[in-house]
Amino acid sequence: MRRFPAPGRLDWIGLRPARDVPMRAVESAEIVETTGLVGDRYVGGSGKRAVTLIQAEHLPVIAALCGHSAIEPATLRRNLLVSGIPLVALKGLRFRIGDAVLEGTDDCDPCSRMEDALGEGAYNAMRGHGGITARVITPGRIAVGDAVTPLLDD
């Protein structure tokens, strides 16, 4: 349960500066202590949901289940798109991305807004594919291309 074949990779970073505005893709971001990404409207919110992550490999599955050829990561309203490592396995574990250390806290269940974004049935299409939430353990800078590495105390 604590073995991973390889580190993952941070593929995309998204910030939503205000309610009801599109997410803005950035190449790098600062994660601040306990509260999340600078420039995101949720910065300062709940510590357990400071950062949201979604699995890149799940985007084609969600798209197929919703009848789309592809889905942009911004549509799914998560902060970080990660590939190459199973995010669900990071729940309860600490992991490093760039200079920051996060701890996976829970599933990031879809919300009803997915129906508006992707069409009828999208909520159910995303169930089990919504990613995870994480709290900030160590603040720091992250950038697209950074490794996502579990911190295992063997």
pTM confidence score: 0.91
pLDDT at residue 105 in the model: 95
Positive or negative torsion for Cα 13, 131, 23, 56: positive
Where along the chain do its domains lie? 8-150
Furthest-apart CA pair in the chain: how many Å? 46
- The span from the CA of 56 to the CA of 86, in Å, is 10
Question: What does pLDDT average to over the chain?
Answer: 90
pLDDT at residue 45 in the model: 62
- The span from the CA of 25 to the CA of 27, in Å, is 7
Q: Are 16 and 24 contacting, i.e. CB atoms less than 8 angstroms apart?
A: yes
Fold exhibited by the domain 8-150: M1 Pyruvate Kinase; Domain 3 (2.40.33)
Residue 138 pairs in a beta bridge with 101
Minimum mean pLDDT range among 23-27, 61-65, 145-149: 61-65
pLDDT tens-digit series, residues 105-145: 999 877 777 777 777 887 788 888 889 999 999 999 999 99
Give me the helices (H) in the chain, please. 59-66, 113-118, 122-126
Tokens of 55: 């699995």
**Residue 46's pLDDT band (boundaries 50, 70, 90)?**
low
